[in-house]
């Protein structure tokens, strides 16, 4: 990579131009986009020119957060889930050729964009094709170990293929802690590691914790208030939404339901006590999370990081058949960090009864993110090369 060239400053001095960084999240749900938000803010804070590449709901979400940034259209993998958990594995296998084609297409797309736009580096959240031979390319992932219902032999094969992609990058950043006080267990702490440099960057959350908001007078917890966050690929997002709508009509307290549909035009009518939103900006969602007695959501890792940052009691409903979410919800239940309930048996009344008798372990606050230091080192490396 060429060193950052000098430019003339307004006062006549010369200096290095801003590093031009491309950030691109995967389109598998909104979580990859939301956890890129603190990365983007830190890059901007440290003087980088940030461009974003995505499309669909992820683009709509990021444009609300960063209306001033430049966006490039980059189609996602467009993965669809089946309606029943037993069909999930077969459904994903059928889509594997499409995913591989998408990875190859984004590799070719990146070559063209680096040539046209002069990017100095890329930060990819789980997009395996965004590597380039001439510039540093970082991949963010917490899934170094991929769980499978077919057993350990299949997990070894999946990890081998996973590492073939990861090892094409310059570095791998893992949004978790390096030691035992971690959130992703075996997913982020496998026995066998990639061959490229591996850096545990701590939690990636765009939120302030509940105590900070409460002390500032912005938000205090309301007993009997629920926050229900829907997310993830269809049709499972809608299936869970239908369960929630059926049950919430009989709930005596108040609730906020965020549908996870940024940019959608169709609205569900709210009542005095039950509020529906297609999407909430980070600041408003932060307040709603802090206000809630319980948060009910999928066990997506980005949502888990936000819940842990805010030290909130949660009820996790893993997407049926999604092995990562099923592992995470079980792992966190064993650590008493969250209650998990299957979608198949979910009812709001039963879930709340279980939550009120569950011994939540909210101790052992997660360490602060190491992101500022790691990005500072990353920028320094760009200026030296």
Q: Residue 157's domain is classified under what CATH number? A: 3.40.50.2000
Are residue 185 and residue 323 in the same domain, yes or no?
no
18 and 145, same domain (yes or no) = yes
Instruction: Assign 180 to helix, strand or coil.
Output: coil
- Residue 15 belongs to what domain range? 6-204+369-384
Tell whether 363 is covered by a domain: no
Cα–Cα distances in angstroms (integers) from residue 80 to residues 89, 210, 211, 276, in the given order: 11, 35, 38, 25
The answer on 308 and 225 residing in a single domain is yes
User: Which pLDDT value is given to residue 211?
Assistant: 58
Tally of CB atoms within 10 A around 342: 12
> In a 10 Å sphere around its CB, with 0-12 CB exposed, 13-18 middle and 19+ buried, how is residue 115 labelled?
exposed
Same domain, residue pair 90 and 163: yes
Whether residue 227 is contained in a domain is answered as yes
Q: In the prediction, which pLDDT does 9 show?
A: 39
Question: What was the pLDDT predicted at 222?
Answer: 83
Asked if 165 and 256 sit in the same domain, the reply is: no
pLDDT averaged over every residue in the chain? 88
- Domain shared by 314 and 343, yes or no: yes
In a domain, 347, yes or no: yes
What tokens does 40 get? 């983007």
Q: Is residue 1 part of a domain?
A: no
Global pTM reads 0.87
Q: How far apart are CA 7 and CA 13, in angstroms?
A: 9
Assigned domain for 179 exists: yes
pLDDT, residue 17, reads 79
The verdict on 200 and 214 lying in the same domain is no
Please indicate, yes or no, if residue 362 is contained in any of the structural domains.
Answer: no
Helix, strand, coil fractions of the chain, as percent rounded to 5: 40, 15, 45
Examine the domain organization and report whether 232 and 379 are in the same domain. Answer: no
My answer on whether 43 and 91 are in the same domain is yes
Q: What are the average pLDDT values for consecutive 10-residue runs of the chain, which has 385 residues? A: 47 66 90 94 96 93 94 82 59 74 94 96 96 96 90 89 96 92 93 95 85 54 91 88 94 95 89 94 92 96 93 95 93 96 95 96 67 94 81
Query: Within this chain, do residues 332 and 271 fall inside the same structural domain, yes or no?
Result: yes
Structure tokens at 145: 């170990």
Report in angstroms the alpha-carbon separations of 119 from 3, 40, 160, 374.
Answer: 12, 15, 30, 19
Our count of domains for the chain comes to 2
Query: Measuring CA to CA, which residue among 281, 302, 280 is closest to residue 65?
Result: 281
Is the residue at 149 inside a domain?
A: yes
Residue 187 domain flag: yes
Q: Answer yes or no: do 35 and 97 share one domain.
A: yes
Residues 232 and 350 in one domain: yes
């Amino acid at each position: 990579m060429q060193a950052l060239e000098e430019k003339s400053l307004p006062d006549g001095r010369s200096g290095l131009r801003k590093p031009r960084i491309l950030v691109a999240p995967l389109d598998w749900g909104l979580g990859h986009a939301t956890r890129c938000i603190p990365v983007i803010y830190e890059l901007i804070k440290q003087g980088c020119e940030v461009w974003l590449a995505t499309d669909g709901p992820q683009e709509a979400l990021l444009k609300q957060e960063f209306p001033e940034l430049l966006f490039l259209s980059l189609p996602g993998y467009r993965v669809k889930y089946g309606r029943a958990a037993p069909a999930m594995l077969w459904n994903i296998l059928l889509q594997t050729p499409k995913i591989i084609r998408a990875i190859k297409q984004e590799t070719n797309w990146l070559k063209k964009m680096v040539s046209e736009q002069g990017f100095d580096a890329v930060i990819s959240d789980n997009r395996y094709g965004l590597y380039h031979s001439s510039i540093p390319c970082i991949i963010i992932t917490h899934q170094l170990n991929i769980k499978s219902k077919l057993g350990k032999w299949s997990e070894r094969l999946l990890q081998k293929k996973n590492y073939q992609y990861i090892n094409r990058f310059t570095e791998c950043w893992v949004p978790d802690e390096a030691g035992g006080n971690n959130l992703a267990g075996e997913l982020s702490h496998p026995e066998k590691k990639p061959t490229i440099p591996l850096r545990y960057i701590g939690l990636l959350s765009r939120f302030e914790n509940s105590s900070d908001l409460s002390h500032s007078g912005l938000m205090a917890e309301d007993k009997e208030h629920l926050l229900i966050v829907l997310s993830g690929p269809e049709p499972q997002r809608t299936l869970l939404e239908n369960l929630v709508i059926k049950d919430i009509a009989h709930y005596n307290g108040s609730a906020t339901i965020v549908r996870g549909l940024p940019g959608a035009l169709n609205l569900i009518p709210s009542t005095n006590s039950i509020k529906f939103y297609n999407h909430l900006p980070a600041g408003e969602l932060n307040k709603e999370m802090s206000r809630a007695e319980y948060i009910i959501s999928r066990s997506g890792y980005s949502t888990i990081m936000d819940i842990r940052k805010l030290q909130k009691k949660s009820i996790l409903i893993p997407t049926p058949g999604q092995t990562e979410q099923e592992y995470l919800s079980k792992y966190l239940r064993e650590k008493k960090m969250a209650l998990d309930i299957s979608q198949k048996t979910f009812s709001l009344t039963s879930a709340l009864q279980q939550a009120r008798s569950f011994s939540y372990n909210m101790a052992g606050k997660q360490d602060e993110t190491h992101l500022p230091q790691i990005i500072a080192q990353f920028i320094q490396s760009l200026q030296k090369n």
